[in-house]
Amino acid sequence: MSKQAIVTGGAGFIGSHLADALLADGWTVVVIDNLSTGNVENIPDRADLLQIDISQDDFLNYMPTGKFDAIFHLAGQSSGEISFADPQYDAKANILGTVLLLEWCRRTGTDRMIYAGTMGVYGNVTSPVSEDAPLAPLSFYGTGRLANENYLRIYRDLGVQSTVLRLFNVFGPRQNMANLRQGMVSIFMSYVAAGEPILVKGSKERYRDIVYVDDVVRAFILSESDDKAVNETFNVGTGRKTHVYELLDCLIEVFGYKPGEFPVEYVGNTPGDQFGIFADVSKIKRILNWIPEVDLKDGLTRMREWLLETNRVG
Ligand SMILES: NC(=O)c1ccc[n+]([C@@H]2O[C@H](COP(=O)([O-])OP(=O)(O)OC[C@H]3O[C@@H](n4cnc5c(N)ncnc54)[C@H](O)[C@@H]3O)[C@@H](O)[C@H]2O)c1
């Protein structure tokens, strides 16, 4: 019999790619998603959808009663900016939603959760940042996600084994191009695709660790299949520093413009934004033998092809 997985957030960007990969590996997949930022068209045909809000009070009444082999938890509010605009919504979706899922795991005997954590749990740190760096998040989003890491840690004593993957800046096809408050690559690309000046919030000297979605999906799959990942926390990035200006140059080139040919405007800042961060990925390399395979230019090219295929280039 095939193994059974729940993918929360499976209508979203990363979750839908993960659902595809699990199905290709022979799993049965149930997607749990309230479609708030996700898109039903992202969900693979062979996956079942349970359209529920993971943070609603009676959530447990709508969940399957049997044990699953693993739950991949990616549903949630994922914008630092939105966490400042609506801290209550952020805490409800991210903290309460995770607690209810963990409680469901405990009740059904589902003893394996792979959790989409974030680099947002680190504050102003020296990069490359390793997993044992001090954690002092700058946003409510990062604060909630840190709380979740602690819930996961305590639920381990109640029988729910888990792995935390602290994702850095993930990019690729199916990023929500209409959401200009989440996803540095998709935000910048939305402007270029529409032929409008790129509005950059913050300095072009900022830097990030930009990792392609297929590489991230592989980290999720390995975390489930390799017992060495049990109860561990891993950074998932490339280990490379990419300045905002380098990302802009590469993006503009991939869309066929010469350097400096495409207009870029700098407007204000995003509250709680980390100035510069990139990952030390030695732990995930050493323990899970995971290395990123898709570089920035290749990934941006694939993303542009997806935009062309789905008629999203203006
Ligand atoms: N994309 C990144 O760069 C990045 C970086 C770090 C962490 N993460 C985390 O990884 C996860 C997936 O990110 P993504 O980029 O695919 O985001 P996404 O917004 O595309 O996907 C999130 C999905 O969760 C669903 N969802 C949101 N709130 C929900 C709720 N209360 N109940 C049920 N479903 C709900 C949305 O409809 C969406 O389909 C998120 O938890 C995010 O915080 C992402």
DSSP symbols for 86-115: -HHHHHIIIIIHHHHHHHHHHHHT--EEEE
Confidence (pLDDT) at 314: 56
| CATH code linked to domain 173-208+240-279+294-309 | 3.90.25.10
Residue with CA at minimum distance from ligand 1 atom 29: 76
Length of the chain: 314
Confidence (pLDDT) at 260: 84
How many angstroms separate the alpha carbon of residue 261 from the centre of ligand 1? 34
Does 143 have pLDDT greater than 60?
yes
- Longest Cα separation, the chain: 58
Cα distance between residue 158 and residue 169, in whole Å: 32
> CB of 169 closer than 6 A to ligand 1?
yes
Q: Which atom of ligand 1 is nearest to the CA of 75?
A: 24
The dihedral of CA 175, 177, 179, 183: what is its sign?
A: positive
Residue with CA at minimum distance from ligand 1 atom 13: 14
Mutate to test the pocket of ligand 1, among 31, 33, 129 (most ligand atoms within 8 A of CB): 33
Average pLDDT over the chain reads 95
> What is 4-170+210-236's CATH number, 1.10.645.10, 1.20.120.450, 3.90.79.10, 3.40.50.720?
3.40.50.720
* R_g (Cα) of the chain, nearest Å: 19
Does 136 have pLDDT greater than 80?
yes
> CB of 37 closer than 6 A to ligand 1?
yes
Does 313 have pLDDT greater than 90?
no
Q: Residue 299's pLDDT band (boundaries 50, 70, 90)?
A: very high
> CB of 221 closer than 6 A to ligand 1?
no
Annotated active-site residue in 115, 122, 141, 207: 141
In the chain, CATH 3.40.50.720 sits at: 4-170+210-236
Confidence (pLDDT) at 272: 74
Whole-number percent of the chain with pLDDT over 90 = 90
Residue with CA at minimum distance from ligand 1 atom 15: 13
Cα distance between residue 304 and residue 314, in whole Å: 12
> CB of 176 closer than 6 A to ligand 1?
yes
Q: Residue 85's pLDDT band (boundaries 50, 70, 90)?
A: very high
Cα distance between residue 167 and residue 217, in whole Å: 11
The C-alpha angle 19, 110, 114, rounded to 5 degrees, equals 45
3-state secondary structure of 240: coil
97 Cβ partners below 8 Å, 6+ apart? 53, 54, 55, 59, 75, 76
- pLDDT tens digits for 244-254? 999 999 999 99
> CB of 179 closer than 6 A to ligand 1?
no
Fill in the DSSP letter of residue 263: -
> CB of 152 closer than 6 A to ligand 1?
no
Which two tokens mark 246?
């380098």
**Angle between the 140-156 and 97-108 helix axes, to the nearest 10 degrees?**
20
Burial of residue 147, with CB atoms counted within 10 A of its CB: 0-12 exposed, 13-18 middle, 19 or more buried: middle
Does 134 have pLDDT greater than 90?
yes
In the chain, CATH 3.90.25.10 sits at: 173-208+240-279+294-309
Does 242 have pLDDT greater than 70?
yes
Burial of residue 76, with CB atoms counted within 10 A of its CB: 0-12 exposed, 13-18 middle, 19 or more buried: buried
Residue 141: active-site member: yes
